[in-house]
Structure 1
Amino acid sequence: MESFVITWRELLIGAVLVLAVYIAEMLLLMRSAKPRGWRIWQRGAEAHAKSREVQSLEMEFAQLQGQVDKLQKELEKLKTQQVAVTPYTHAIQMAQQGLNVNEVAASCGISRGEAELIVAMHRNQSNDS
């Protein structure tokens, strides 16, 4: 009988072939898995970008809300200053307190006709309510 002898050269060629098959198989698996992995990575990147955009919009919204609050306070301040400045608002308050036309006209520095109109309007309003 003949004996079967494997030389180093044949063993090396066999190992290289096995290694080549293994590498080819890994490359094929990686190539077929790449789109899936790429899509997952891409979704993560898109989600991260959207998250940054949402944070940016939230910060901008907070700044705008602060500006709106500031403007509302300034508007209220201007309204109270405007109301306090006019003699007609003082006349309205006096008419609502029940003072007569002569007292309203003298105290507010408005004409008697204006005082009569204000007293008449605000006596009717206080009687209606």
Structure 2
Amino acid sequence: MTFGMIVFAVAVVLALGGAAAYVWWRQHQAGGVDVTASHLDSLQAQISQLQRELSRTLSRLEKLEQRASAPARPTPSAEPVAGNGSYNQAIQLVRMGLSAVEVAERCGISRSEAELIVSLYRNNSPS
């Protein structure tokens, strides 16, 4: 490609770009007030929606903070009571030599309960 062809190609690209920019500018000038007003209305609607969502979120956050700072209420325990089959099974598993972690997993009791059972029944023979 010669230097003249390059200059001509650049001039054509610039001319087409300028023409496209002019057409775009004229279209926006003709309806500029309406486009801007509708755009502002749209933005205002979005801002209003965000304000409502923020208000609801803050309300939920305040409720959660109140719950977190409130004194804990005793809840009914879902854990087995003494004499239940889970504890009896745990005692049998401890006597078989299982660890507290294994006992807790198999019997559905807490690890601390399993550790207590291990400490009470590990070396004791059945009576």
TM-score normalised by length of structure 2: 0.36
Which has the higher Rg, Structure 1 or Structure 2?
1
Structure with greater proportional helix content: 1
TM-score normalised by length of structure 1: 0.36
